[in-house]
Amino acid sequence: MRAALLRPALAVAAIAAVLGTAAPASAAAPERAAKDTPRYYLALGDSLAAGYQSLPGGGHEVGHGYAQDLAATLGQRAKAAHHSFSFTDLGCPGETTASMMNGGCPYPHPYQDSQLTAAIAFLRAHHGDRTLVTVDIGANDVDGCLSSGKVDLPCALNGVTTVGKNLDTILGKLRAAAGPHTRIVGMNLYDPFLAVWLTGPQGQAQATLSVPLADVLNTTIGLADAAHGVPTADVAGAFSTDAFSPTVPFNGRQIPLNVARVMQWTNMSRGDIHANDAGYQVIADAFLAKI
pLDDT the model gives residue 7: 38
Task: Return the ∠ at Cα 152 (arms to 151 and 158), rounded to 5°.
Answer: 125
pLDDT band per the 50, 70, 90 thresholds, residue 24: very low
Question: Residue 152 is which amino acid?
Answer: D
Q: How far apart are CA 228 and CA 67, in angstroms?
A: 22
What pLDDT is stored for residue 206 in this prediction? Answer: 86
Given a contact cutoff of 8 angstroms between Cβ atoms, the answer to whether 286 and 234 are in contact is yes
* Percentage with pLDDT > 90 across the chain: 73
Specify the amino acid at residue 278: A
Task: Classify domain 36-191+213-234+277-288 at the CATH superfamily level.
Answer: SGNH hydrolase (3.40.50.1110)
Q: Cα–chain-centroid distance for residue 205?
A: 25
Helices then strands (H, E): number in the chain? Answer: 11, 13
Q: Specify the pLDDT at position 33.
A: 55
Encode pLDDT of 104-125 as tens digits. 999 988 888 999 999 999 999 9
Mapped onto helix, strand or coil, the DSSP state of residue 218 is: helix
Residue 233 clears pLDDT 80, i.e. is over it: yes
